[in-house]
């Protein structure tokens, strides 16, 4: 950015063939681009600070990364417009210094890696891809490492879902029961009770399964999980 100040004055000095109005227009456009470059640099420095200190959540860092890429693309577009508007009054090479500033910023942004995803995110992705054992490993590591309190019940639930998908129903129902007891105020409790009841049905213990489902129906009557539980109690598990 320090190179931009002498560049602007140098450009005004060399542009003797241009009218004062032309020069003022160019200076205004260059100043505008300088401001945008400075703002982009400030955003990048803030991203680096957050990354180094481990502050901020992953979604925020990722959004900043993509925003910076868009900012650089916009700056490049501004450069092209400035060249076109000054053609015939100021030679293009007089904008070379500013263009180098933009290119330096672009190179700096491109070297930044996207923030790493958490073990919760990778675990959920692996579950959706059908890689249940790998998903469980990531989710358990996430819980062991001190999870975000808002996601702890979700991680426990998806461990149960991984086991259920692997047809390890007895292990799965224990995980679902843990969600209901350990995270009793969380929003995953209705789903956990539903799947716990279903897991009991899968093991052949429909009586206990229905007791769990009745608990869900009575405790969370307005939920979608409760509606599914009523149907299972009445008709049994749906055929898969």
CATH number of the domain where residue 189 is located? 1.25.40.10
Q: Which tens digit of pLDDT belongs to each residue from 133-146?
A: 999 999 999 999 98
Q: Could you list the residue range(s) of the whole structural domain that residue 226 is in?
A: 131-235
Q: Are residues 199 and 159 in the same domain?
A: yes
Q: Are residues 219 and 187 in the same domain?
A: yes
Joined together, the tokens standing for residue 89 give: 């009054």
Contact 75, 99 (CB under 8 A): no
Looking at every residue in the chain, the average pLDDT score rounds to 77
Using DSSP's 3-state secondary structure scheme, residue 135 falls into: helix
Report the alpha-carbon distance of residue 12 to residue 97 in Å, rounded.
Answer: 13
Inside any domain, residue 100:
yes
Q: Enter the pTM of the model.
A: 0.56
Q: Are residues 8 and 104 in the same domain?
A: yes
Angle CA(107)–CA(109)–CA(110) in degrees, nearest 5? 65
Q: How confident is the model at residue 97 (pLDDT cuts 50, 70, 90)?
A: low
Q: Which tens digit of pLDDT belongs to each residue from 196-210?
A: 999 999 999 999 999
What CA–CA distances, in Å, run from 237 to 111, 201, 228, 231?
A: 53, 7, 10, 8
Q: Are residues 212 and 150 in the same domain?
A: yes
Q: Are residues 140 and 216 in the same domain?
A: yes
Inside any domain, residue 39:
yes
Report the alpha-carbon distance of residue 79 to residue 98 in Å, rounded.
Answer: 8
Report the alpha-carbon distance of residue 89 to residue 67 in Å, rounded.
Answer: 34
Q: How many domains does the chain contain in total? A: 2
Inside any domain, residue 52:
yes
Q: Residue 149: exposed, middle, or buried by beta-carbon count in 10 A (0-12, 13-18, 19+)?
A: exposed
Inside any domain, residue 119:
no
């Amino acid at each position: 950015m320090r190179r931009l100040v002498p560049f602007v004055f140098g450009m005004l000095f060399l542009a003797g063939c241009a009218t004062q109005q032309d020069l003022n227009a160019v200076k205004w456009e260059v100043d505008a681009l300088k401001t945008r470059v400075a703002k982009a640099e400030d955003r990048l420095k803030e991203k680096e600070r957050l990354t180094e200190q481990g502050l901020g959540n992953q979604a925020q860092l990722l959004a900043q990364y993509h925003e910076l890429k868009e900012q650089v693309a916009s700056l490049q577009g501004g450069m092209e417009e400035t060249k076109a508007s000054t053609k015939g009054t100021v030679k293009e090479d007089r904008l070379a210094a500013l263009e180098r500033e933009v290119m330096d910023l672009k190179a700096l942004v491109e070297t930044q890696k996207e923030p790493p995803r958490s073990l919760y995110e990778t675990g959920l992705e692996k579950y959706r891809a059908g890689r249940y054992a790998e998903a469980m490993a990531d989710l358990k590591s996430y819980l062991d490492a001190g999870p975000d309190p808002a996601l702890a019940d979700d991680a426990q639930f998806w461990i149960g879902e991984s086991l259920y998908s692997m047809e390890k129903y007895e292990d799965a129902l224990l995980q679902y029961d843990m969600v209901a007891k350990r995270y009793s105020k969380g929003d995953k409790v209705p789903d956990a009770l539903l799947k716990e009841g279903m897991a009991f049905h899968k093991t052949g213990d429909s009586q206990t399964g229905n007791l769990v489902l009745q608990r869900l129906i009575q405790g969370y009557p307005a939920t979608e999980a409760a509606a599914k539980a009523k149907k299972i109690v009445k008709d049994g598990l749906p055929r898969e």
